[in-house]
């Protein structure tokens, strides 16, 4: 557990691959569409223009999703949530002050989630190992909830993007059939097919954004759970071991 990130480097590679896929999938689909489009090759920009106004919020959503994913991918790292020097500094603060107040203050000054979890355990240090473990577990659940709330933006984008794409398709279909109605049914089949083709671009764009975003959301949620589990385990072991080291022979005799 303590080395889950180092022992499983493929998870970092998977996250980077999904980010890369999210950024380039639209370009690939545009290139494939251009291969069968006739004399004039389609580009990503021409497809975006054919998608209509709905492509504007879809484009904004894709940029926000990519930015959020990059930021969370970097932030949700074990070394950031539980810095390498944190345990050493906490141990020194613990040993320098038998009352534990220095250790609590050290946790308060820490900006990571580990400080909140360890502080919760320190506050129950005099109530036994079970109370310490329970306090750390409860604090870990709260911190996990906070970290997962930071991922809600990705969840919203993954849910809304297909709906925006479908809305663009509906508007496009309405426009195509409206033109047919206004022409008295004399519109050519090619014209109708062109209108439907352009309308479906928004659905493809919405799904292209939603699928990688959803995969990233699930991946980052799993990372949050594993980081918090690691902090819980290390936190309980740290406080229990230091409590045992500080206990006196008389305490053992009384136990």
Domain ranges of the chain: 4-80+153-241, 82-147
User: Model pTM?
Assistant: 0.69
pLDDT at 53 over 50: yes
pLDDT at 33 over 70: no
Q: What local confidence, expressed as pLDDT, does residue 232 receive?
A: 78
Per-residue confidence band for 162, with pLDDT thresholds at 50, 70 and 90 = very high
Residue among 44, 55, 18, 42 at smallest CA distance from 212: 18
Per-residue confidence band for 245, with pLDDT thresholds at 50, 70 and 90 = low
Residues whose CB falls within 8 Å of the CB of residue 169, separated by 6 or more in sequence, listed in order: 199, 200, 202, 203
- % of the chain beyond a pLDDT of 90: 16
How is residue 38 written in tokens? 């006739």
Residues whose CB falls within 8 Å of the CB of residue 46, separated by 6 or more in sequence, listed in order: 30
How many residues appear in the chain?
255
| DSSP string of the chain, one letter each residue | -TTHHHH-THHHHHHHHHHHHHHHHHHHHHHHHHHTS-SSPP-HHHHHHHH-TTHHHHHHHHHHHHHHHHHHHHHS-HHHHS-TTHHHHHHHHHHH-TTSHHHHHHHHH--SHHHHHHHHHHTTGGG-HHHHHHHHHHHHHHHHHHHHHTTHHHHHHHHHHHHHHHHHHHHHHHHHHHHHHHTTT---HHHHHHHHHHHHHHHHHHHHHHHHHHHHHHHHHHHHHHHHHHHHHHHHHHHHHHHHHH--HHHHHH-
What would the pLDDT profile of 137-153 be if each residue is shown by its tens digit? Answer: 888 888 888 888 889 99
Displacement of CA 75 from its chain's centroid (Å) = 10
Q: What local confidence, expressed as pLDDT, does residue 164 receive?
A: 93
pLDDT at 248 over 50: no
Across 10-14, 38-42, 190-194, the highest mean pLDDT is recorded for 190-194
Q: Does 195 or 64 have the greater pLDDT score?
A: 64
How is residue 129 written in tokens? 């190992």
Please answer whether residues 169 and 207 qualify as being in contact, where contact means their C-beta atoms are separated by less than 8 angstroms: no
Please compute the mean of the pLDDT values over residues 86-91 and round it to a whole number: 82
Mean pLDDT of all residues in the chain?
75
In this predicted structure, which of 133-137, 176-180, 244-248 has the lowest mean pLDDT? 244-248
Question: Residue 249 region, left (φ>0) first, then alpha (ψ -120 to 50), else beta?
Answer: alpha
Radius of gyration of the chain (CA): 27
Please answer whether residues 168 and 61 qualify as being in contact, where contact means their C-beta atoms are separated by less than 8 angstroms: no
Residues whose CB falls within 8 Å of the CB of residue 172, separated by 6 or more in sequence, listed in order: 52, 195, 196, 198, 199, 200, 202
Q: What local confidence, expressed as pLDDT, does residue 2 receive?
A: 39
Q: Does 66 or 196 have the greater pLDDT score?
A: 66
Please compute the mean of the pLDDT values over residues 10-35 and round it to a whole number: 53
Q: What local confidence, expressed as pLDDT, does residue 209 receive?
A: 93
Across 16-20, 106-110, 204-208, the highest mean pLDDT is recorded for 204-208
């Amino acid at each position: 557990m303590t080395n889950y990130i180092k022992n499983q480097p493929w998870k970092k590679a998977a996250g980077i691959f999904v980010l890369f896929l999210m950024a380039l999938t639209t370009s690939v689909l545009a290139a494939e569409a251009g291969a069968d489009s006739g004399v004039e090759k389609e580009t990503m920009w021409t497809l975006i223009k054919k998608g209509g106004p709905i492509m504007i919020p879809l484009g904004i959503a894709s940029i926000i999703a990519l930015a959020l994913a990059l930021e969370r991918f970097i932030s949700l790292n074990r070394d950031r949530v539980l810095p390498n020097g944190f345990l050493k500094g906490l141990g020194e603060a613990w040993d320098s002050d038998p009352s534990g107040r220095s250790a609590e203050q050290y946790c308060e000054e820490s900006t990571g989630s580990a400080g909140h979890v360890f502080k919760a355990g320190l506050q129950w240090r005099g109530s036994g190992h079970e109370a310490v473990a329970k306090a750390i577990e409860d604090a870990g659940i709260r911190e996990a909830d906070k970290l997962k709330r930071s991922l809600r933006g990705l969840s919203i984008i993954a849910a809304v993007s297909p709906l925006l794409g479908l809305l663009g398709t509906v508007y496009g279909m309405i426009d195509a059939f409206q033109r047919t109605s206004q022409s008295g049914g004399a519109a050519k089949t090619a014209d109708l097919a062109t209108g439907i083709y352009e309308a479906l671009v928004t659905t493809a764009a919405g799904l292209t954004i939603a699928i990688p975003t959803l995969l990233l959301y699930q991946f980052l949620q799993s990372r949050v759970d594993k980081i918090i589990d690691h902090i819980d385990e290390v936190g309980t072991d740290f406080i229990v071991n230091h409590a045992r080291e500080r206990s006196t022979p008389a305490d053992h005799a009384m136990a």
